[in-house]
């Protein structure tokens, strides 16, 4: 016998879907990670889909911070006086980093829109604390 992780009904283990609610029986639900880092943003869509919503919010905050740093660096290089010579590869690197973090940010925001129905404008401690509180009181 296998228990459905959604409706908690007992099912015959040979079935692929719950007999009561139709949910897939062998799908693992997202679990909170012990640690989320900026490097996690390089994971594929399929891997990020397995992240808990709380972890995605933390990852979004990290990616947005890094994107802002890349943007500010790119702008300061562009505004440098003409007599200061800046290697073209440095400029291209800054622009590519900004584009990379923008793409990662949009992917994570898309996953959050699928889950929450919106993308948060700001991921601050207040939002994270409210979500943590809801998770602990379920």
pLDDT of residue 49: 93
Domain with 81 in it: 31-136
Q: Say what the pLDDT of residue 26 is.
A: 82
pLDDT score, position 118: 95
- Give the pLDDT band (50/70/90) at residue 111: very high
Are both 24 and 73 inside the same structural domain? Answer: no
> What sign has the CA pseudo-torsion 37, 59, 64, 45?
positive
Q: Are 9 and 21 in contact (CB under 8 A)?
A: yes
Q: What is the pLDDT of residues 57-91, one digit of tens each?
A: 999 999 999 999 999 988 887 787 777 777 778 77
> In this structure, are residues 41 and 108 in contact, taking their beta carbons and an 8 Å threshold?
yes
Are 23 and 49 within one domain?
Answer: no
| pTM score of the predicted model | 0.83
DSSP annotation string for 112-133: HHHHHSS--S---HHHHHHHHH
Q: Are residues 104 and 61 in the same domain?
A: yes
Taking residues 99-125, report their average pLDDT: 95
Q: What angle do CA 22, 55, 118 make, to 5 degrees?
A: 70
pLDDT digits (tens, 9 = 90+) for 8-42: 888 876 668 898 899 888 887 888 899 999 999 99
**Domain identity same for 62 and 92:** yes
d(CA 136, CA 85): 55
Cite the DSSP H helix spans in 1-138.
Answer: 45-49, 53-78, 88-116, 125-136
Q: Do 25 and 36 have their domain in common?
A: no
Residues 11 and 56 in one domain: no
């Amino acid at each position: 016998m296998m228990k459905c992780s959604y409706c908690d009904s007992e099912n015959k283990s040979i079935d692929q879907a719950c007999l009561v609610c139709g949910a897939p029986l062998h799908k693992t639900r997202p679990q909170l990670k012990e640690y989320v880092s900026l490097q996690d943003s390089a994971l594929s869509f399929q891997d990020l889909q397995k992240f808990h919503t709380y972890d995605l919010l933390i990852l979004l905050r990290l990616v947005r911070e890094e994107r802002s740093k890349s943007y500010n660096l790119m702008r300061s290089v562009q505004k440098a006086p003409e007599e200061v010579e800046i290697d073209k590869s440095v400029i291209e690197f800054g622009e590519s980093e900004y584009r990379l973090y923008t793409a990662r940010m949009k992917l994570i925001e898309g996953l959050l829109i699928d889950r929450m129905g919106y993308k948060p404008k700001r991921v601050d401690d207040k939002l994270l604390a409210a979500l943590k509180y809801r998770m602990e009181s379920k």
